[in-house]
Amino acid sequence: MVSDQEILKVTDLYKKFPITKGALLKKEVGSVNAVNGINLTLNESETLGLVGESGCGKSTAGRAILRLLEPTSGKVEFEGTDITTLSRGEMVPMRSRMQMIFQDPFSSLNPRHTVGSIIGAPYEVQGIKPAGGVKNAVRETMERVGLNPEHFNRYPNEFSGGQRQRIGIARAVTLRPKFIVCDEPVSALDVSIQAQVINLLQDLQDEFGIAYLFVAHDLSVVRQISDRVAVMYLGHIVEQASRDDLYTHPYHPYTHALLSAVPVPDPKVEAQRERIVLRGDLPSPINLPSGCVFSTRCWQAQDKCHTDVPELQDMGNGHKVACHFPIMEFLGNSLIIGPDSGMTEQPDRVVPPPSEVLQSLQGGRATRPKGIDYAEGEEPI
Amino acid sequence: MTFLSVSDLQVSFSTEDGTVKAVDGVSFNVERGKTLAIVGESGSGKSVTSQAIMALHTGRGTTVTGRIELDGIDIVTASEEKLRSMRGNEMAMIFQDPFSSLHPFYKIGSQLAEAVHAHHKVSKKEAKAEALRMLNKVGISNPEQRLEDYPHQLSGGMRQRVMIAMALINGPELLIADEPTTALDVTVQAQILELLAELQAEFNTAIILITHDLGIVADMADEIVVMYGGRIVEKAGLHDLFYKPQMPYTVGLLSSVPRLDSAGNRLLSIGGQPPSLINLPTGCVFNPRCAAKNPEIAPRCESERPDLREVGENQFVRCHLDDEQREKFATTRLEEVFGGE
Ligand SMILES: Nc1ncnc2c1ncn2[C@@H]1O[C@H](COP(=O)(O)OP(=O)(O)OP(=O)(O)O)[C@@H](O)[C@H]1O
Ligand SMILES: Nc1ncnc2c1ncn2[C@@H]1O[C@H](COP(=O)(O)OP(=O)(O)OP(=O)(O)O)[C@@H](O)[C@H]1O
Ligand code: SF4
Ligand code: SF4
Ligand SMILES: [Mg+2]
Ligand SMILES: [Mg+2]
């Protein structure tokens, strides 16, 4: 259950990476605008899914929120304290309450340390002595995440990908944090192990009231685990809503494009479906487009889109979208666009209505498996 | 003549704990212009199999036996010189781990240009132009600027796309793509898959695609091999595998895919742990986790290794159950998960 206790509030967060030229005298010649003023909040026991194009700044946002990267500007309030103003020393105790699970189970664990010392490291860093000793506490955590405590002295390379991801999770939950940034925690895992890890994360959330910022590409996984979902594009949050609102009634054209591209594990659906293929100039975080960040590729962009930045507006029920012409409804193959669209022509491409796409996604397959003939009386109910 | 034929491939590693039989008796063919997908559990030997085709198992204590023939050339016995001229040219691989496969100290521009230089006599300028062209193709914005970046300055998905550009840059005849899109969002992923399909159409490339995303398999594959515990447990054409899965493990795999309508509920997963490759279970390697094993068949499952046998046109399965029992298990399980009509 999501509590109504707000635990994290991020306001106007920016992160720029300078681009320098010259070997010795580094001259700043520009910057990569990785995160451009994002706002978000998270309650206790809540999961906010973060999705978006590769390179749009999700990992950077996650790291900047934890101050693993220094934000360029903006506020990050965690349990009421703006952590961007804390000194290095003051950050140390904070670290026990906010953690990160990394994408890559292959390179994020030190191969020279035993699993026990990896999972127990946070105690040492924090100078915390758990009752009953570190070793016992670590064994307990290992058990909790489904690792065999007997494997305390083994090294990471002796574990499979899924087990390594559990080691990463165990390390993150050792000190029972209140907030974890999960950066693609399951994308390197096969579906069956993916399922185990997602279930584990949900159980840990129920047990310890952890809030997750969950970065992932797999929209089915995000839907599975999130309470709310934020869609990022080029360093901006362009849409944010409760899980069900976002998946059943997306407003932003980019969200539509994303949903239309989800691969469906059904060959017949795959053979027939249409995707929204994004064309137009690839935008660059080095030279952000003027106006709407999506305008270089949006099929319904108007003049206004190239000049005016759309603000994130609430469409009701906390469903926010940053678009001048949010997609209101799909009727057959034609789009109904927001009231002041001024759009006279229909787009030249047929855009698949999301309901159809969603239907085909629901149940993972559109129809029951064909080609299996049931013997009489054997047909399952 | 078959373009790529792998027969009775065995790969083992000797480790402190004993011999790891990572791949045990794997055989399959891939024709030009076709895509074979390899799916299966983490640790089941998918990457090791594909690395053997690229002849990358050169470490001490590693034994590779069996035959691998690519366009008439025996890979297992070919000289290192010959292999070097083939790698990155006739055959190329997109590695699963983009973090360790790019050199951290070189700019990506020079790494890409080097890939061209290794196989073609071209000027610096031409190599750079080629690098630019490929970066564009994989959808990297500001490619000129990015040529000057070091790998750590790129996002995870950008690094993966640089890897892909590097594998495709010389138009390979055989492309092995090991989890090529795990770090990409779905729109970029769709673009990359489209690029692979274009390449395949243009050069008649044979593709071996390793992925855990069954949606991608449904989109791309002609034929599918399912691996478990170092061996092939099922092999079938695309439609047969999705609509008439035979092996209980395949059925389990198909039913643990997260679905949009199952949001918030627990996901089904195959219980238990993957087998230890040092101490494989006796009998069927899947038996400790198999939900289809009934009391009647159990003694056989636990003592006798099933053979891979043909159960339908071009469909092979490694399981003791008879046709009727397998089908019944598959149908009931999939109906349970996906519901009726
Ligand atoms: N250390 C760095 N130095 C310079 N630029 C960086 C650095 N880290 C990230 N960037 C840039 O910031 C932008 C956002 O990168 P980030 O890793 O946050 O993307 P992402 O959304 O996590 O993408 P992906 O889904 O591919 O992992 C990219 O343009 C990237 O090149
Ligand atoms: N150099 C090595 N030495 C010892 N064992 C190895 C070596 N390389 C691979 N293995 C083992 O061989 C088995 C098969 O590994 P492989 O990488 O092929 O799995 P995979 O099917 O690709 O799994 P994943 O989906 O996680 O990538 C694993 O148990 C792995 O630990
Ligand atoms: S503001 Fe204009 S360009 Fe941006 S998403 Fe909306 S319609 Fe497209
Ligand atoms: S042989 Fe037995 S244990 Fe193995 S998959 Fe078939 S039923 Fe299951
Ligand atoms: Mg990232
Ligand atoms: Mg692998």
Q: Is the pLDDT of residue A329 over 70?
A: no
Q: How many CA atoms lie within 13 A of B95 on its CB side?
A: 16
User: For residue A284, what pLDDT is reported?
Assistant: 85
Question: Which has more pLDDT, B337 or A96?
Answer: A96
Domain with residue A65: its CATH number is 3.40.50.300
For residue A51, report the distance from its CA to the centre of ligand 5, in Å: 10
Same domain, B147 and B241: no
**pLDDT at position A220, please?**
83
Which tokens in the block code for residue A249?
């009634």
Domain boundary among A171, A196, A231: A231
Q: What is the token pair recorded at A289?
A: 């487009």
Spatial separation of the C-alpha atoms in residues B200 and A353, rounded to whole Å:
30
Number of domains in chain A: 2
For residues B275 and B305, membership in a common domain is answered with yes
Tell the residue nearest (CA) to atom 24 of ligand 1. A54
Q: Let me know whether B84 and B168 are in one domain.
A: yes
Looking at the fold, whether A180 and A279 belong to one and the same domain comes out as no
State how far the Cα of A170 lies from the Cα of A160, in Å rounded to an integer: 15
Residues A178 and A129 in one domain: yes
Among the three residues B182, B203, B226, which one is the final residue of a domain in this structure?
Answer: B226
Residue A303 CA to ligand 1 center (angstroms) comes to 30
Q: Which long-range contacts (CB under 8 A, 24 or more apart) does B274-277 make?
A: B274/A160, B274/A162, B274/B41, B274/B42, B274/B43, B274/B44, B274/B229, B275/B229, B277/B20, B277/B21, B277/B22, B277/B43, B277/B229, B277/B230
Same domain flag for B16 and B133: yes
Same domain, B200 and B306: no
Give yes or no: residues B267 and B154 share one domain. Answer: no
End position of a domain, from candidates B161, B191, B226: B226
| A243 assigned to some structural domain | yes
B266 and B184 together in one domain = no
Which residues hold their Cβ within 5 A of ligand 5, which is an ion? Answer: A 59; B 156
B311 and B189 in a common domain:
no
Query: Residue A333 has what pLDDT?
Result: 35
A285-307 tens-digit pLDDT = 998 999 999 999 898 889 999 99
Tell me whether residue A92 is in a domain. Answer: yes
Which helix H or strand E contains A220, and what residues bound it?
helix A219-225
Question: What separation in Å is there between the alpha carbon of A44 and the centre of ligand 5?
Answer: 24
> How far apart are the C-alpha atoms of A270 and B215, rounded to whole Å?
8
Choose the final residue of a domain: B226, B241, B261: B226
Look at residue A338 and tell me whether its pLDDT is greater than 60. no
Q: Is A192 within a domain?
A: yes
CA angle at A202 for the pair A198 and A208, rounded to the nearest 5°: 140
Output the CA angle A102-A108-A111, nearest 5 degrees: 155
The distance from CA A301 to its chain's CA centroid, rounded to whole angstroms, is 26
Query: A311 lies in which domain range?
Result: 234-361
For β-strands A6-21 and A73-78, DSSP reports them as antiparallel
Assess if residue A100 is contained within a domain.
Answer: yes
Q: Check residue B99 and give its pLDDT.
A: 62
Mean pLDDT by 10 residues, chain B (341 residues): 95 86 96 96 90 90 94 93 92 80 88 91 92 91 90 88 92 94 87 90 94 91 96 96 94 76 59 81 94 93 96 95 94 74 39
Q: Residue B302 is part of which domain span?
A: 229-338
Among chain B residues, the shortest Cα distance to A187 is held by B182
- Quote ipTM for the complex: 0.82
- In this structure, is residue A370 part of a structural domain? no
- Asked if A225 and A301 sit in the same domain, the reply is no
pLDDT digits (tens, 9 = 90+) for A194-230: 777 888 899 999 999 999 999 998 888 898 899 999 9
Kindly indicate the confidence band of residue A232, based on its pLDDT and cuts at 50, 70 and 90.
very high
Q: Is the pLDDT of residue A171 over 60?
A: yes
Chain A 156-195, residues with CB within 8 Å of chain B CB atoms: 158, 160-162, 184, 187-195
Residues B138 and B235 in one domain: no
**Residue B163 distance to chain A (closest CA, Å):** 15
Confidence category of residue A330, pLDDT binned at 50, 70, 90: low
| Predicted local distance difference test score (pLDDT) of residue B266 | 61
Domain end: A231, A252, A268, which one? Answer: A231
Select the residue of A224, A265, A286 nearest B145 (Cβ to Cβ): A286
Residue A244 shares a structural domain with residue A203? no
Angstrom distance (rounded) from CA A177 to CA A355: 39
Regarding whether B155 and B56 lie in a shared domain, the answer is: yes
Q: Which two tokens stand for residue A355?
A: 């309901």
For residue A344, pLDDT over 60 is answered with no
What is the reported pLDDT for B191?
86
